[in-house]
Structure formats: C-alpha cells, structure tokens
Structure 1
Amino acid sequence: MSETYARPRFGQPREPQKKVDRGSRLVDLLDFVATSHVRSVAFLVLCGFLLFLPGFFSIPPIDRDEARFAQATKQMVETGDFVDIRFQDDVRYKKPVGIYWMQAAAVEAASALHLPRAQVRIWIYRVPSLIGAFGAMLLTYWTALAFVTRRGAVLAALIMGSSVLLGVEARLAKTDAMLLLTVVAAMGAMARVYLSWQRGEDDPHPPWSWPAIFWTALAGGILIKGPLILMFVALTVAMLAFFDRSLTWLWRLRPVWGLMWLLVLVLPWFIAIFWRAGDAFFTDSIGGDMLSKLAAQESHGMPPGLYLLLFWLTFWPGAPLAAMAAPAVWRARREPGAQFLLAWLVPSWIVFEAVLTKLPHYVLPLYPAIAILTIGALERRVLSRSWLTSGTAWWFIIPALASLAAVVGAVSVTRQPVFLAWPFVAAALIFGLFAWWLYDDNRAERSLMNAVVAALFLAFAIYGVVVPALTPLFPSAEVARALRNVVCVGPKAAAAGFHEPSLVFMTGTSTLLTDGSGAADFLAQGSCRFALIEQRAERSFAQRAEAIGLRYDVASRVEGYNISQGRAISIAIFRSEGTE
C-alpha cells in the first residue's frame, strides 16, 4: 500500500490516506522521500544539484547584465571599496549593493582558498545566484507546508526548481535568483501568520521566528533590488485587506520591532552611499532605472499579455498542470489558503503586465505561488478534465523543440553536431513522452515526475553540453585566452568596435574602450600593448596608424557573434612593432 492525500483545503493540510495504486517507480520515490522532512530536504538538494550545476562552471560570461554585475564586483575587490558601485570609471547605481557584497564574498573566499585567477572565473560570481536558486527551491517547500501536505510541498518545490526560468537565473551572476529567495521567505512567514489568524488561533505570545524571517527577508530584498520586494508584500496585504475587511493579523508580525530591525540592516549602506555620492544613487536607481521601465526606455517595451504567453515556456514543466488547476483555484478563491496565494500572485502580475518594459525574469517571484496553487488542486483531485488536458502534450513538445533548436544551432554555429548531447536529448524526449502519454488526472504526480526528469536531462543537454560548445557566441573568452598566451608581462588592451562588458571583465578593468583612431594612439604608447579591433573599425585604425607611423602586426583573429547586437563580428588582435 502506498500513500495518497485527502483533498485539503488550501491552507489546511491534512494527513495522508492509503490508496492501492502506486502509479510508478517515480511516485514510489516521492512517497519514500515524503515520509520525513530530512528525506524531503535531502532529496530536493540532490535534485537542485542535478538541475542547476550543468553548465554552471563552463558557460562563459553572458552579455550584458551578468558581465556588468561581475565587473562591478571585481572592481570592488580590486579597490577594496565596498560602498561605491562602478563599471570602470562610470558609476553603476541601478541596483543597491547587496548582490555585489555577496559576489565579492564569494571571490574573496575563493582567493583565500588559493584558487588560481579567482577574479576572472565567472562561476564564482554566480555562486550567490546558485545559493538563491537552492534557497528558493527549499523555501518553496517550506512555504508550501503551510498550504498542502509534505508530499505536495515536495512536488511544489520540484515544479519551482525544474522551471526553465529559475534554471536560467541560477546560472547568471545577477540579482533575480537571490531576490526570489527573499520574496519566498517573506511570503512564507507572512502566510503562516495570516493562516494562523484565519484559523482563529489567539496565542498571546506568538513566536518571534516568523516576524524575524519576514523582516530580515524584506531587508535582504531591499539591499538586493531596492523596493521591489515591498511591492509584492504591499499588494498582497492590500488585496487581503479588501477581502477580509481587516488588517489586525499584521500585528502578529510585530511591525514596530520589525521596522526597527529592517532599518538597522538597511540604513548603514544607504547612509554611506549618500555620504559618498549625494543623491546620485537615488536619482539613478529610482528615476533612471525603476521609473524608466514605465516608459519602456530600455528598448524592451511590449504589450500586456506577454508574460502570460511566456509562461508556457518559462514555467515549464509546471505550466500544463497550472492550466488544468486554474478552474479549481478560481472556485476555491475565497478559501484562506487560495486567497492568500492569489493575493500574492494576481495584483503583482497585473502590474507587470501593465508596465511597458517587460523582461521574462520580472515575474519569477510570483511562480512559487502558482506552484503551490497547482499542487493544492492536484492533491484535491480537482484538475480540469476539459480541453485543457490537451496541454499535457507540452511536456513532450518543449523537449522536442529545445532539442531540435540546440542541435541545429550547434551545427550552424560550430559546424559540429555535438554528439555528446544526443543521449541526454533522447532521454529528455523519452521522459517527456511518458509524461504526456501516461497522464491521468487521478495520478497526475506520475506525469509530473516524468516531466521533471525530462527537464533534468534537458538541462544536461543544453546547459551542460551545447551552450559551452558554442564558443563563437563568446568572443570575449577567446580574446582573453589569446592575450593570456602572449609572451610579455602585464599586457594592456584597447578595444574598438566591440565594447561588450564581458570583454572588460575578461581582459581587465584597465581595458580602454575607444574607436579605431584611439586604439592606434594607444598602441603607439608602449610595449606589451594590444589593440582589439572589430572589422568595422579596422579602416579608421589603419588610417590613424599610417598617419602616426605606427607599425603593427596581427597577433591573431577571433571570429564570433555578438549576441547583444545580433550580428557576426571579426576581431583582429594587433600588436605594435614600433614607430617609423
């Protein structure tokens, strides 16, 4: 006999009941790990390693955001200035200092362990994102325990951990995975306070742990990405107040002590940066970054509905089940658990759809709520049996399309079929096919587990094998490799025509970003200097070199593709031979 679960009300998990049908070996594994918290957490940690580590160490720096964050952190470590945020000589005041401190700590730890060239190993800067992805997965489990059974909480965490969007963010040295961790922690703590109030629990001495987690998570979120986390919390509270006509439960979060604790954590750096730069940080971060998104000033303006369209890809493999759960969630919308999760999800989603600037990762902090709502409907066996069940084909379609795109892309970019990826591709297709064919609304866990395994093999194929093999997409890494092989001490470089942040990160903070004429002047100023000239800037470089009598030679040439601008490039590495 194995275990299934009675249909719990959202926010009121019940004990498991017995059932006869085991479903599959994957479901047996789920039953086994769900027998204790220790097994559940250990299983999720193992799944996290399998889902997040492929490609983590081998994918070069990605332009542009990741390379900008990493370079700014690198300069903090180089200068020892952990207050100011700069990219070369320019201030970078779009985001607070939190993620830079975390990345700097990772770099300093690696250096203390005598890891060679720690400051230019991009995977070290990705460690906070990896921790954020792991933490978000485990905190989704913790949060889900307030709404569903332990078995359901494991499934919710698996949905979150295997989602395409979190897999991408776990491998990028930027803010979003760590922001997700803080949001889930805050929402998990707030959910426990709210549900205890809804159940009528009137403890005169409520525990300090939930308020402590809540306010610490808020402080962390503010230091990582400014007031965005406050929007999620405020909109959730406002919607709950609208439905309940009461906010008395907020006092259980101990707001007076909590606000004091938040200010203790947050104010020191904001005071320090104000002392250093005046109001420049607040002007750039709030006016130049946050408010500019309302007007789509970052060339990412899209109409409402984009996030709903992208959801089918970014939340795969959980998206088909989420669609089938939607009708049941709507019917349960006034139940305390569903009401809280919808208050977390719906208002913020509407805001993101209304804002003109749209990037896929903006809605990531809302995905845990969708995962838990989906599992709540699954446990109650109320998934839709309508035309929405046709969406189960998506479990096979995504691996098929992704595998085809990966193989075709690898052949077109590298002229190599990347055979090593094929076994992983085949496994992803097989498990995706099983997830589709074996779907039964009474045993949906079986299909979901197969889909998670398909996502795992897809991660090995794409992140672990195909992307690292696409070396032409990462010309900065090739240029840096060429400069490391030169026979001189302390090479200096100037770049013309290719100014991507990854180049500065890989070749050094002192790399001069100029035009062809400026690169020629730079080359004439001494030995062990190199001009990195993109083909479109070679003419101006040659004209200026002739004018100043500069003799130069081509050390090597890098052919590649600028993914930020979407065009092929050819970078010649010139070295001076003196002047006439």
Structure 2
Amino acid sequence: MDGMVPQQRLSLRRFSLAQVASAFERSHFRLCLLLVLLSLVCFLPGFTSLHPMDRDEPRYAQASKQMLETHEFVDVRFQDEARYKKPVGIYWLQSASVAVGEALGVSEARTTIALYRIPSLLGALATVLLTYWAALAFLGRRGAFLVAALMATSIILMVEARLAKTDAALAACSVAVMGGLARAYFGRGAGVLPKRALMIFWAGFAAGILIKGPLVLMFAGLTAAILSYRERSFRWLLTLRPGLGAAFTLLVVLPWFIAIALKSGGAFYSEAVGHDMLGKVGTAQRYHWAPPGFYLLAFFATFWPGAIFAAAAVPFAWRHRREDAIAFCLAWIVPSWLVFEAVPTKLPHYVMPLYPAIAIITVIAILRHFVGPHRPGAKLATVLIPFIPIGLMVGLSVVNWNFDHTLPYRGLPALLAASLIALYAWRLFVQNEVLKSLGLGFVSAACLSVGVFGFTQLDLRSLKLSPRLAEAAHSMTCDRPVVATLGYREPSLVFLVGTDLEMLETGEEASSFLKQGGCRMVFVEKRFEDAFRAENQRIGLQPALSTRVAGFNINSGRRLDIGAYAVGR
C-alpha cells in the first residue's frame, strides 16, 4: 500500500466507495434500514425534551388525554369544548400510545408529551419508507433512496415528526395512496395491479380519511382527473378495484362517522365542514392568513436541503412534461398546490404531502445531469445550501441572547458542523459534484437536527412558560390542589397542569377563586395584577407569591411576566 502512487490510492478509494454503495443497493432491506437510521438521527433529537408546542399540539394531546380520562372514544373534547374539526383517527392513535406507555410503567404517562408524539414519529418514518416504495415506480433503487432521503432530511418533516398532530400521519397516508395510483397509471396496459399495491393504496386511503377527512381524496382525485383527461379515459382506474376498495373504506370509516353523527346530533359535520373546512376557504382562520405565493417562498426553508436542487429542476419538468413519470408528478403537485395557494388560511405543512412528487422530479433531473453549475444562476442560487444552517445558528444565538442573556453553547458545535458541511456541499456543487453535494446536504441536515432540536431548544428557557408554570403547580405539597390561570390561556398549560384548570377573566375572579379555600394556586399575568391585589386587599386575602415566571409567548408575540399565587400550601 505504501508504494502506491496517488492515482492508485484515489482509484482504490473510489472503488471502495462504489463497492459500499453497490452492497447497499443490492438489497431493499439494506437501503430501508439506512433510511430508518437517517430518519431517526433527524427525528429523535429533542423528541422527549421539547416542550409542548402551542397551540395545535397540546390541543390534540389534551383531547387524547381526556379520552383516556373519560373513556369516551367517540366524542372528541378539549376541556368542556367539543373539538369537531378533524376526524378521530389521530386521537385514537395517541390514546393507544399513551395507554401502552402506562402499561409499560412510564411515570406520569398522561402528561408525557413524547408518548403523544409517537404516532407522528411513526407517521414520519412511514412517510420516508413509503416515499421509497412510491419512488420505485419511477426510479431504480438508488434514485428511490435519494428521493426518500430528501424527505427524511427536509426541515418540515423533521418538525412534524416531533409534534403530536395529524400532519406526519397524513403525509404517510397520502404517499401510500399516490404510490398505488402511480402503479395503476404506469401499468394501465396490463390491467392487473399487484395485491400489495392495492392493499397499500386502500389502507392509506381509509386511514387518511379517518385522520384528516377529505384531503387524501383531493390529492388522489385531482391527480386521477388530470391523468384521465390526458388519456381521454378513466378505464385505467379500474385496476384499483374501486368497488371493493370503496366497500373496504366504508367498512373502516363509516362506524365512527355514524357514531359521531348520532352523538353530536350532526354538530360534528356543521363544525368540521361548515366552520373548519369552509372557514379556511372563506376567511383566514386563527390569523393564519397569507397571500398567494406564500408556499413557494416557504418551500425554500421547509424543503431544505433539497429545495434549491428542486428549483433548478423546474425547467427540466417543463421540458419533459409529456413523459409519463413527469406528467404524473406534475398532476400530483400542481392542482393541489394551486388549491392551497388560493385558500386564504395558510400554514407551511399543508403542502407537505406534495413534497415526495417534487423530490421525484428533482432526483430524475439530477440523475440525468440536468441539475448542475452549468444552469443559469445555479452557482449563486445554491448559496441557499449553507444559508439555512448559518442563518439558524446566528438567529437562534441572537434569540437566546435577547431573551435569556446567554448563548446556546450546547448546540453551537453541532450548528457549526452543519454550517461547515453545508458550505462544503455548496463548493462541491460549484465543482459539478452534484450527487456528493446532495449527500453532504443530508449529513448537514442530521447535524442541524442535533444542534437545533437536541441542544439549542434546551437553552431557550424563556420560551418554556407552560412547563415552568406547571412545575410551580406541581410543587404544591397538599393533596389535589386546584389551579386557575388569568391572562395566560395556552393549551399547553391545560395539558401539563390538568383538565380541570380554570380559565379566569378578571383580577376579581382570581381573588374570589383563592377565597374559596382549600389548596389553591392562580397564575396572574402582570397586566391583571393591580386589579388582583386591589381585590385581595378589599377582601382581606393575603396569598403567598410562590414564584414569578417571565418569558416570551411565541403565539401572542409578547413578553409575559406571570406571578403564581397560592393559598393553603
């Protein structure tokens, strides 16, 4: 070995790397195992330590917790309020996850947010593996692996894997359906679809409806309609056995839909369809309005590190739009994307089920050597590769210093590593090493996950208002303390403190609450404290100030200062 010339060493190194790649590509199992490992590195850091993220996550988790408390598994509720916005699927999955945790002896299982996140974690893993399966209809093993890795390392899926919501599970259902639909379309001359593809298609379809209603039907329906117009025939859809599949879907979803109609007297449908669904179309619910074009701008952050590669592949998609593979992906992406852009209510994760199709087009373009530094403006545009990790490193450091007067020292090494790797990936792209650049993007994303979710969020103490208040409530030594809150009403506080947390409106109500006697604590936001103290003085009440919690509420965009007052401790 010592006598080898440099060229021989380089050749041997390349030969060895080629052998390793070839060894993995010989087996679907090995590639899937590699995808699972990559996904876990991207999804697990911070999974248990990240506090409940207001407002949607704790609403889902609290509703699932109340299912276990009341043994009511049809009617979904958040405290006394009916939660008729989504079907029941995700609540059943979360309740089952927590029940298993309790059976295994997990301490404080019902207030352990990580247990409620397990369905999202499994949904994100399923999204990655099903993306690999779906991409095999378009590409060989190496290409399908790259497509799935783009999903595993995308920022949006890394976020949704850690949140106890519907979106990671919906993405898995959607890609299962679209993978089956692709096989039906590409095999339209054969007239027969493999049983595995049929099972995956209809299982994803039924589960998708139970998890988030008609969205999966929209994705598949719009795609099928456009492709049928292209073929001037709907006959290719018959290979999906629609009669048998519809019967299976009704068998799965109809019992709960009938039960909730009887239980709610039809209120579920008026709320879910009339308020939630049509409300998103007619008005921007919950202040989530954004103009058309929002998703296009958000895409460059949410689909990092693959976003800039995807942007470079857009001309390729247009040039090759008549090819079956590209036509299918465009039918998957464009109509649903336009629907989401047209709806006033916008959130970045809404378009996530369309990202696998974007990844497929991107990888096809890369493997055909269309994407590279020779494209106009590509060398400059790909500065986005290092921009995201560098921007997060600087931005999170500024936030940490501004709120807590310190730096996220534990996360900085991983953030710095992610930034340096991304810079090198940019250099490789400029040198026309596109596949290597993409691979280093995956490594950078893994480092970014460790840095942001594993360590940096631990140092952002000012953002953890609810956990700190819950800690104060749980520090009371008396049996069964009664807790109320004034001015701070986040769902995470209900989840962490308890379903019976009382919501108060005025300082006088807070004093009256403590006056009732027994062991009680009330959280009073600073702007209500003058009225609270005045009423205490009037009625002769002297509660003890247990602690003060100061921080920043992301949802309201305000700094808060909250006092925890107790009696009968």
Tell me which interval the TM-score lies in, with the shorter structure as reference length.
over 0.9
Q: Which residue of the other structure, out of 126, 131, 143, is the alignment partner of 1:140? A: 131
- Alignment partners' CA distance in 2, 1:37 and 1:274: 44
Alpha-carbon distance change, 150 to 135 in structure 1, aligned in 2, over 3 angstroms? same
Match of 2:492 in 1: 502
Q: Deviations along 1:345-375, whole A, 9 cap, x unmatched?
A: 1110111111111111110000000001111
Match of 2:541 in 1: 550
- Alignment partners' CA distance in 1, 2:19 and 2:418: 21
Alpha-carbon distance change, 483 to 297 in structure 1, aligned in 2, over 3 angstroms? closer
Note if 1:539 corresponds to 2:544.
no
Alpha-carbon distance change, 433 to 414 in structure 1, aligned in 2, over 3 angstroms? same
Matches within 5 A, 1:80-479: 80-197=71-188, 200-203=189-192, 206-294=193-281, 295-383=283-371, 385-389=374-378, 390-439=380-429, 443-479=433-469
Q: Deviations along 1:200-232, whole A, 9 cap, x unmatched?
A: 3244xx433222221221111111111111111
- Alignment partners' CA distance in 1, 2:310 and 2:535: 61
The aligned amino acid for 1:96 is: P
Is residue 182–residue 220 contact of structure 1 (8 Å, CA) maintained in 2?
A: yes
Alpha-carbon distance change, 299 to 126 in structure 1, aligned in 2, over 3 angstroms? same
Note if 1:39 corresponds to 2:35.
no
Is residue 136–residue 177 contact of structure 1 (8 Å, CA) maintained in 2?
A: yes
TM-score (norm: length of structure 1): 0.93
TM-score (norm: length of structure 2): 0.94
- Alignment partners' CA distance in 2, 1:307 and 1:23: 40
Is residue 23–residue 443 contact of structure 1 (8 Å, CA) maintained in 2?
A: no
- Alignment partners' CA distance in 2, 1:528 and 1:29: 65
- Alignment partners' CA distance in 1, 2:395 and 2:347: 22
Is residue 221–residue 229 contact of structure 1 (8 Å, CA) maintained in 2?
A: yes
- Alignment partners' CA distance in 1, 2:18 and 2:57: 38
Q: Which residue of the other structure, out of 70, 75, 83, is the alignment partner of 2:66? A: 75
Matches within 5 A, 1:16-35: 30-35=21-26
Is residue 93–residue 281 contact of structure 1 (8 Å, CA) maintained in 2?
A: yes
Q: Deviations along 1:55-81, whole A, 9 cap, x unmatched?
A: 111010111011111111111111111
1:550 CA drift (Å): 2.1
- Alignment partners' CA distance in 2, 1:184 and 1:511: 40
1:242 CA drift (Å): 1.8
Alpha-carbon distance change, 482 to 23 in structure 1, aligned in 2, over 3 angstroms? farther
Is residue 403–residue 552 contact of structure 2 (8 Å, CA) maintained in 1?
A: no
Alpha-carbon distance change, 394 to 29 in structure 1, aligned in 2, over 3 angstroms? farther
- Alignment partners' CA distance in 1, 2:62 and 2:516: 26
- Alignment partners' CA distance in 2, 1:447 and 1:577: 63
1:22 CA drift (Å): 7.8
1:386 CA drift (Å): 2.1
Alpha-carbon distance change, 66 to 104 in structure 1, aligned in 2, over 3 angstroms? same
- Name the SS of the counterpart of 1:264 in structure 2: helix
- Alignment partners' CA distance in 1, 2:460 and 2:155: 20
1:234 CA drift (Å): 0.8
Note if 1:574 corresponds to 2:561.
no
- Alignment partners' CA distance in 1, 2:459 and 2:77: 32
The aligned amino acid for 1:335 is: E
Alpha-carbon distance change, 54 to 488 in structure 1, aligned in 2, over 3 angstroms? same
Is residue 520–residue 568 contact of structure 2 (8 Å, CA) maintained in 1?
A: no
- Name the SS of the counterpart of 1:494 in structure 2: strand
Q: Deviations along 1:231-279, whole A, 9 cap, x unmatched?
A: 1111101110121111111100000111000000000111111111011
Q: Deviations along 1:305-344, whole A, 9 cap, x unmatched?
A: 1111111111110011111211112111111111111110
The aligned amino acid for 1:256 is: G
Is residue 191–residue 236 contact of structure 2 (8 Å, CA) maintained in 1?
A: no
Alpha-carbon distance change, 376 to 487 in structure 1, aligned in 2, over 3 angstroms? same
- Alignment partners' CA distance in 2, 1:321 and 1:431: 17
How big is the alpha-carbon RMSD for the aligned residues of Structure 1 and Structure 2?
A: 1.8
The aligned amino acid for 2:61 is: A
- Alignment partners' CA distance in 2, 1:419 and 1:293: 41
Match of 1:4 in 2: none
The aligned amino acid for 1:486 is: M
Give unmatched runs, 5+ long, in structure 1: 1-19
1:488 CA drift (Å): 1.0
Aligned residues: 555
- Alignment partners' CA distance in 1, 2:517 and 2:292: 55
Is residue 517–residue 568 contact of structure 2 (8 Å, CA) maintained in 1?
A: no
Q: Deviations along 1:487-522, whole A, 9 cap, x unmatched?
A: 211111010010111111111000100122222111
Note if 1:485 corresponds to 2:472.
no
- Name the SS of the counterpart of 1:561 in structure 2: strand
1:382 CA drift (Å): 2.1
The aligned amino acid for 2:402 is: S
Greater mean deviation of Cα atoms: 523-532 or 295-304: 295-304
Q: Deviations along 1:556-579, whole A, 9 cap, x unmatched?
A: 11112111101111111111269x
- Alignment partners' CA distance in 2, 1:371 and 1:69: 30
Alpha-carbon distance change, 133 to 383 in structure 1, aligned in 2, over 3 angstroms? same
Match of 1:8 in 2: none
Note if 1:517 corresponds to 2:508.
yes
The aligned amino acid for 2:422 is: G
1:127 CA drift (Å): 0.6
1:441 CA drift (Å): 8.1
- Alignment partners' CA distance in 2, 1:30 and 1:180: 29
The aligned amino acid for 1:347 is: P
**Identity within the alignment, %:** 46
Alpha-carbon distance change, 456 to 350 in structure 1, aligned in 2, over 3 angstroms? same
Q: Deviations along 1:39-58, whole A, 9 cap, x unmatched?
A: 10110010011000011110
Greater mean deviation of Cα atoms: 527-536 or 259-268: 527-536
